[in-house]
Amino acid sequence: MSAGPVIPDFGDPSACVASDATFCADWFTDHWWNLFWPALLQHLELTLIAVVLGFVLAVAAAVLCHFKGWLAAPVSAVTSFLYTVPPLALFQLLVPVTGFSVLTVEIALVLYSIYLLFTTFLTGLREVPGDAVRAARGMGLTRRQILFKVELRLAVPSLIAGLRVATVMTIGIVAIAAYVVDKGLGSLILKALQSPFNTQFIGAGALAVVLALAADGALVLAGRLLTPWARTRRA
Amino acid sequence: MSTEKTPASAQDIVFDHVVKTYPNAASPAVDDLSLTVSAGEICVLLGPSGSGKTTALMMVNRLAEITGGDIRIGGRSITDHDPIELRRSIGYVIQQTGLFPHLTIADNIATVPKVLGWDKRRVKDRVAELLDLVGLPVAEFGRRYPSQLSGGQRQRVGIARALAADPPVMLMDEPFGALDPITRERVQDEFLALHERIRKTVIFVSHDIDEAVKMGDRIAIFREGGKLAQYDTPRTLLKEPADEFVARFVGADRGLKRLTLTRLAELDLTPATSGDAALPAIGADASLRAALSLMVAEGTDAVRVMESGDGGGGGEVGAGGEGGEGPGGAKALGTASLDAVRKAGAA
Ligand SMILES: Nc1ncnc2c1ncn2[C@@H]1O[C@H](COP(=O)(O)OP(=O)(O)OP(=O)(O)O)[C@@H](O)[C@H]1O
Ligand SMILES: [Mg+2]
């Protein structure tokens, strides 16, 4: 083994890289625009698509089950079964059908997150104070108006809570999706696994953590803005 | 509670052999209910838990569908209306008010006007008018959330919200049930004063006989099984309970309760003499019961009746100067003796 740099073709190695240090900040910043930033954007994109799709499907399923109570048990059974399949196995199952594609990744991500979203949303809808709904009915709001003006509005804290867990979880699973598509921070990590040079691996991993924290923070903030009534409890 | 003034906006409500049997129930929740609530009156539905009061109320706005008989509002059967339209024309207040926690006070009140498609200006004016009516200035309270109000204030907002589209009829299901006794009494007084002005036809569910006697022009007493036991004015109900059940329900102290129905001002007072100065004083607004209580407490057999303020039905000001020497120069109107109180109460 030579003592020289292991990462090939990135120009003259700096002192840090040459000494094979654990983390080289200069190498990280040098490769921000051509390596980390694009991967971060891909990671975010894969996550967003999955979470938005999962959100829409889960809200639709929860509303349907809220209206037709008998649907809740079967929907819950199916989604919880999907949740028990390990994500990696789910990818494996889908590849023969949809290939090594973004589609495969998104299907798996959505199927995996939907159980969590669905159960929190349904609970949120069911926990809307019965008094408010009875008052709304008694005032002559239609079923639709009650759903949109009362129930979904009061379920916002649950929607946000579900989204927070699902988003953080999805950001983690997208990293594994690198086995299927060469995208996201996961692919940087996967490639770096074979090399003793750790900066790429550590940098990508840290970015995934930062992304998860930032997404979580953004959702908390959105929740605050959407629920002004919850901030004004009497002292 | 006079019933002469009945503006065109109020409508009578007729229950015509109404039956409600819930699906899979062995017996009806409301069984053959017939009664008429005259326009502008307050009718209190009173009875033990499970006797069908809420069910009877919810049939009026079709939150529960009748399974027999008919209910007519202003002569028109409720089944002729679309349920949504019907509900928008009926004010509805429930216990804990059912205010929407996620909407400001102003938006809560604006709910029905908005779904009715009123323009912004009109909605805003109506909200301000109603908040004013219940004594909560819009500038101070309009932008608060329900969690930022006291229980009594929330209840007033609930009433304002029910009045938003100026419905001829109001349904109130134990609206003051969750309030502490002092607040409840104040909100009751306020509602009676408000009712004097707006004269809606009101059906009011209660399980408290004292509240029923105070609020009701007429009281419908329900017994188990959703049967109407008696429908009468409070005075008649207390004087001539139809049967053992009603007598037990209104309580052994129904004689005392009857005393609450008459104010000292309604008595022929004995002219005041110089010897009366030692007698305990009480405002003319006070009920005969309060006067009797004062006599017992002070060990006298008469009270000195003082002129009271504006005599309006309570309102914000603490209930008429019970026993106190009115501040400044309250004038003595005369005296009321134990005997006079007893006779007036028995009448
Ligand atoms: N949605 C429903 N389905 C089936 N039965 C019902 C329903 N609502 C009420 N009941 C039954 O109807 C009867 C009357 O109930 P209701 O709520 O009208 O009584 P209430 O007089 O209002 O009692 P409370 O003073 O406790 O509020 C009860 O036996 C109750 O169990
Ligand atoms: Mg009830």
DSSP letter assigned to residue B263: B
Distance from CA of A158 to the nearest CA of B (A): 14
Q: Is B311 in the pocket of ligand 1 (CB under 6 A)?
A: no
Q: CA nearest A89: which of A179, A190, A204, A181?
A: A179
Cβ < 5 A residues, ion ligand 2: B 54
Closest residue (by CA) to atom 18 of ligand 1? B52
Nearest CA in chain A to B83: A140
Q: Where are the alpha helices (DSSP H) in A99-129?
A: 102-126
Handedness of CA A72, A78, A82, A83 (dihedral sign): positive
Question: Residue A235: pLDDT above 50?
Answer: no
Residue to probe by mutation, ligand 1, list B24, B44, B55, B221, most atoms within 8 Å of CB: B55
What per-residue confidence (pLDDT) applies to A148?
96
Report residue A6's pLDDT band, with 50, 70 and 90 as the boundaries.
low
Report residue A3's pLDDT band, with 50, 70 and 90 as the boundaries.
very low
User: Which ligand has the minimum distance to the alpha carbon of residue B45?
Assistant: 1
A-interface mutation test, from B84, B100, B155, most A Cβ less than 10 A away: B100
- What ipTM was reported for this prediction? 0.83
What per-residue confidence (pLDDT) applies to A11?
61
Strand pairing partners for B157? none
Q: Is B2 in the pocket of ligand 1 (CB under 6 A)?
A: no
What tokens does B344 get? 């007036």
Q: Is B146 in the pocket of ligand 1 (CB under 6 A)?
A: no
Q: Residues of chain A with pLDDT > 90: what percent?
A: 69
d(CA B66, CA B60): 9
Yes or no: say if A174 and A110 are a contact pair by the CB < 8 Å rule: no
What per-residue confidence (pLDDT) applies to B319?
38
Report the pLDDT averaged over residues A12-41: 86
Yes or no: say if B294 and B282 are a contact pair by the CB < 8 Å rule: yes
What tokens does B116 get? 């009715």
What per-residue confidence (pLDDT) applies to B274?
76
pLDDT greater at residue A124 or residue B283: A124
How far CA A58 is from CA of A61, A107, A161, A163, A199, in Å, comes to: 5, 14, 13, 10, 39
Residue B58 CA: nearest ligand 1 atom is 18
Nearest CA in chain A to B108: A136
What per-residue confidence (pLDDT) applies to B115?
94
DSSP strand E in chain B: where? Answer: 13-20, 30-37, 42-46, 68-73, 76-77, 90-94, 169-173, 201-206, 218-223, 227-232, 281-283, 302-306, 332-337
pLDDT tens string B117-153: 999 999 999 999 999 988 899 999 999 999 999 988 9
Nearest to B92 among A129, A138, A153 (CB): A138
Q: Is B24 in the pocket of ligand 1 (CB under 6 A)?
A: no
Question: Residue A1: pLDDT above 60?
Answer: no
Yes or no: say if B306 and B321 are a contact pair by the CB < 8 Å rule: yes
d(CA B149, CA B132): 16
Sites in chain B below the pLDDT cut of 70: 1-8, 309-329
Nearest to B147 among A131, A150, A232 (CB): A232
What per-residue confidence (pLDDT) applies to A7?
53
Give B-chain residues touching A135 at CB under 8 angstroms. Answer: 92, 94, 97-100
What tokens does B78 get? 């409720």
Report residue A10's pLDDT band, with 50, 70 and 90 as the boundaries.
low
Nearest to B98 among A131, A145, A232 (CB): A131
Q: Is B206 in the pocket of ligand 1 (CB under 6 A)?
A: no
Strands B332-337 and B302-306: antiparallel
Residue B205 CA: nearest ligand 1 atom is 22
How far CA A167 is from CA of A171, A174, A213, A223, B262, in Å, comes to: 6, 10, 10, 14, 68
Question: Residue A69: pLDDT above 90?
Answer: yes
B302-306 sheet: strands from edge to edge: B281-283, B302-306, B332-337
Residues making up chain A, counted from first to last: 235
The structure tokens 């509002």 sit at B73
Distance from CA of B61 to the nearest CA of A (A): 7
How far CA A20 is from CA of A34, B84, B235, in Å, comes to: 21, 74, 99
d(CA B149, CA B144): 8
Residue to probe by mutation, ligand 1, list B20, B33, B51, most atoms within 8 Å of CB: B51
